[in-house]
Amino acid sequence: MKPIRPLNTKTDLQMAHTLYETHYHFPGQKSVYKGKVREVYALQNNVLVMIATDRLSAFDVVMPKGIPFKGQILNQIATKMMADTADIVPNWLLATPDPNVAIGHACEPFKVEMVIRGYMSGHAAREYKAGKRLLCGVSMPEGMRENDPFPTPIITPATKAEMGDHDEDISKEDLLKRGIVSAEDYAILEKYTRALFQRGTEIAAARGLILVDTKYEFGKTASGEIMLIDEIHTPDSSRYFYAEGYGERQANGEPQRQLSKEFVRQWLIQNGFQGLEGQEVPEMSDAYIQSVSDRYIELYEKITGEPFQKAETGDIHKRIETNVQAHLAQN
CATH number of the domain at 248, please: 3.30.470.20
Judge contact between 240 and 209, C-beta under 8 A.
Answer: yes
pLDDT at 113: 95
Residue 225 lies in a domain: yes
Full domain range(s) for residue 176: 109-268
Tell me whether residue 31 is exposed, middle or buried, using C-beta atoms within 10 angstroms of its C-beta: 0 to 12, 13 to 18, 19 or more: exposed
Q: 116 and 254 share a domain?
A: yes
Q: How would you label 91-105 residue by residue, b for 16+ Cβ within 10 Å and e otherwise?
A: bbbebbbbbbbbbbb
Residue 290 and residue 234 share a domain = no
* Residue 164, pLDDT score: 45
Query: Of 246, 268, 290, which residue constitutes the final position of a domain?
Result: 268
Under 8 Å between Cβ of 317 and 1: yes
My answer on whether 204 and 252 are in the same domain is yes
Q: 10 Å Cβ neighbour count for 177?
A: 10
DSSP letters of 276-324? -TT--PPP--HHHHHHHHHHHHHHHHHHHSS---PPP-TTHHHHHHHHH
**231 in a domain, yes or no?**
yes
Q: Is the pLDDT of residue 12 over 50?
A: no
| Same domain (yes/no): 127, 250 | yes
pTM equals 0.86
pLDDT computed for residue 11 by the predictor: 42
Do 141 and 201 reside in the same domain of the chain?
yes
What CATH number corresponds to the domain at position 99?
A: 3.30.200.20
In a domain, 87, yes or no: yes
Same structural domain, 93 and 63: yes
264/125 same-domain check = yes
User: Residues of the chain with pLDDT > 90: what percent?
Assistant: 79
> Is 3 within a domain?
no
On whether residue 4 sits in a domain, the answer given is no
For residue 262, what pLDDT is reported? 80
C-beta separation of 19 from 314 below 8 A: no
* Residue 213 included in any domain: yes
Q: Grade residue 17 by pLDDT with cuts at 50, 70 and 90.
A: confident
Same domain, 91 and 136: no
- Could you read off the pLDDT of 99-145 as tens digits, one per residue? 999 999 999 999 999 999 999 998 999 999 999 999 999 999 999 99
Residues 53 and 194 both lie in one domain: no
Residue at a domain's end among 268, 294, 310: 268
Q: How many C-alpha atoms does 199 have within 13 Å on its Cβ side?
A: 17
Q: Which residues pair with 108 in a beta bridge?
A: 220
**Res 237 pLDDT > 50:** yes
Indicate the number of domains in the chain.
Answer: 2
- 223, 245, 268: which is the final residue of a domain? 268
Tell me how far apart the alpha carbons of residues 149 and 83 are, in angstroms, rounded to a whole number. Answer: 28
